[in-house]
C-alpha cells in the first residue's frame, strides 16, 4: 500500500446529505421550542406563508444498514426575500425527527426538499382591508414569514397577529419578532410606515399574563374587539389566515363562517384560509 492510498482509506470521502443545507443559527426558547436558520438553495422560490419538507437522515435499517431521509412538513418562517431560510420548531421528546433535530448546531446539515406549497398565501384571499393572522404554538411560523412580507402591508390597512400559547415563555419568539421588525432598517425600507399597521395580540391559556384565554373564547365574548377597538369581523372588510391544532382550526372555521366569511384556496380565493400546524 503506498502512502497516498493509506491517506485515502484513513479519511473516507465525506457523504453529503441529499438536498443538504447548512445550519447558520440556532436559538432555543424553552425545552419545547427552538428556532434555526439555514442556507437557502439558490433556485428556491416560494411565496411567504408556504411550507416545505425538511429533515435529517433516519437511523440505519438494522438489516441492511441503509439510511433513509426522515422528513416532516415545516412552514418557512422567513419571508420570500430573505437570503436564508428560518424555521420555528417544536421539540417532541419521542418525536422521530425533532428528538434529533433539536440537537442541531451551526455548521450541521439538514435535508430540505425545495418544493414549497401551502394555502396560507395572499393569492388565496380576495382583497380586503383588515387581515387577521390567528395562531397557536408553532402555528405562528407562517405568519412570521408574512409579517415580514411587504405585500402584506401593501394589500391591507391593518394587520392583527394573534398568538395563543400555554405559557408566557412560549410567546417569546413572536414577541421578539414583532419588536425586532419594528426596529429593522431593511424592513423599514421595504415596508416604510406600513409597519405601524401591525398589531400584536398575545394570550396565554395556563400561565398568568396580561391577556388570558383561548382566542376562540375571546372572539365569541367580544373581548378581542373591545381590546382592539374594532366593531367586529365582516365579510366586506376582514380576511383571515388560521394556523393551529386541528381543534383550533375547526373552532375558528365555525366562528369565521358565522361572521359570513368563506374558506378560500389557491384555485379559488375567498375570505379566509386554514392550515394545520401539525398532524395529530
Residues lying near ligand FAD in the complex (CB under 6 A) are found at 51, 72-75, 87-90, 92, 95-99, 137-138, 141, 275-280
User: Any bridge partners for residue 151, and if so which?
Assistant: none
Least separation in angstroms between CB 13 and ligand FAD? 29
H/E run at residue 134:
strand 130-136
**CB of 6 vs ligand FAD, minimal distance in Å:** 41
* Residue among 156 and 272 whose Cβ is closer to ligand FAD: 272
Instruction: Measure the CA–CA gap between 5 and 37, rounded to whole angstroms.
Output: 39
If the CB atoms of residues 71 and 256 are measured against ligand FAD, the closer one turns out to be 71
Of 84 and 154, which has the nearer Cβ to ligand FAD?
84
Nearest to 200, CA basis, from 261, 158, 170, 168 = 158
Quick count: other Cβ atoms within 10 Å of Cβ 111? 17
**138 vs 249 by CB, closer to ligand FAD:** 138
What's the min distance (Å) between Cβ of 54 and ligand FAD? Answer: 9
Least separation, in Å, of the C-beta of 189 and ligand FAD?
Answer: 27
Locate all alpha helices (DSSP H) within the chain, ordered by sequence: 3-10, 98-101, 141-146, 150-155, 172-183, 185-191, 215-220, 223-228, 246-258
Q: Between 35 and 239, whose beta carbon lies closer to ligand FAD? A: 35
The grid coordinates listed for 278 are 401539525
Give least dist CB 100 to ligand FAD, A: 8
Count CA atoms within 13 Å of residue 250 on its CB side: 3
Smaller CB separation from ligand FAD, 78 or 138 = 138
Q: Which residue is nearest to ligand FAD (CB)?
A: 95
Which own/partner contact pairs does 227-230 have at CB distance under 8 Å and 24+ positions apart? 227/201, 228/160, 228/199, 228/201, 230/130
As a whole number of angstroms, the distance between CA 241 and CA 260 comes to: 15
Where do we find the cell 428556491? 44
Smallest separation (angstroms) from ligand FAD to the CB of 193: 30
**Given the complex with ligand FAD, which of 59 and 157 has the nearer CB atom?**
59
Backbone φ and ψ for 67, nearest 5 degrees, come out as -115, 135
> Regarding beta strands 33-39 and 84-90, do their DSSP bridges make them parallel or antiparallel, or are they unpaired?
antiparallel
Distance of closest approach, residue 191 Cβ to ligand FAD, in angstroms = 23
Amino acid at each position: 500500500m503506498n502512502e497516498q492510498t493509506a491517506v485515502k482509506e484513513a479519511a473516507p470521502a465525506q457523504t453529503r446529505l441529499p438536498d443538504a443545507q447548512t445550519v447558520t443559527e440556532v436559538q432555543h426558547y424553552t425545552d419545547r421550542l427552538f428556532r434555526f436558520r439555514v442556507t437557502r438553495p439558490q433556485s428556491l422560490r416560494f411565496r411567504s406563508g408556504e411550507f416545505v419538507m425538511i429533515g435529517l437522515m433516519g437511523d440505519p435499517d438494522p438489516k441492511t444498514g441503509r439510511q433513509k431521509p426522515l422528513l416532516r412538513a415545516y412552514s418557512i418562517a422567513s419571508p420570500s426575500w430573505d437570503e436564508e431560510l428560518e424555521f420555528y420548531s417544536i421539540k417532541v421528546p419521542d418525536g422521530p425527527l425533532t428528538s434529533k433535530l433539536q440537537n442541531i448546531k451551526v455548521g450541521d446539515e439538514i435535508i430540505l426538499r425545495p418544493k414549497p406549497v401551502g394555502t396560507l398565501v395572499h393569492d388565496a384571499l380576495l382583497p380586503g382591508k383588515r387581515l387577521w393572522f390567528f395562531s397557536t404554538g408553532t402555528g405562528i411560523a407562517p405568519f412570521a414569514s408574512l409579517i415580514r412580507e411587504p405585500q402584506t402591508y401593501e394589500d391591507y390597512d391593518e394587520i392583527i397577529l394573534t398568538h395563543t400559547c400555554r405559557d408566557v415563555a412560549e410567546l417569546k419568539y413572536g414577541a421578539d419578532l414583532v419588536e425586532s421588525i419594528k426596529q429593522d432598517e431593511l424592513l423599514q425600507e421595504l415596508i416604510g410606515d406600513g409597519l405601524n399597521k401591525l398589531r400584536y395580540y398575545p394570550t396565554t391559556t395556563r400561565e398568568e399574563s396580561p391577556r388570558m384565554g383561548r382566542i376562540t373564547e375571546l372572539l365569541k365574548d367580544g373581548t378581542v374587539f373591545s381590546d382592539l377597538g374594532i366593531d367586529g369581523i365582516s365579510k366586506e372588510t376582514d380576511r383571515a389566515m388560521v394556523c393551529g391544532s386541528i381543534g383550533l382550526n375547526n373552532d375558528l372555521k365555525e366562528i369565521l363562517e358565522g361572521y359570513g366569511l368563506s374558506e378560500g384556496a389557491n384555485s379559488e380565493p375567498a375570505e379566509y384560509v386554514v392550515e394545520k400546524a401539525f398532524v395529530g
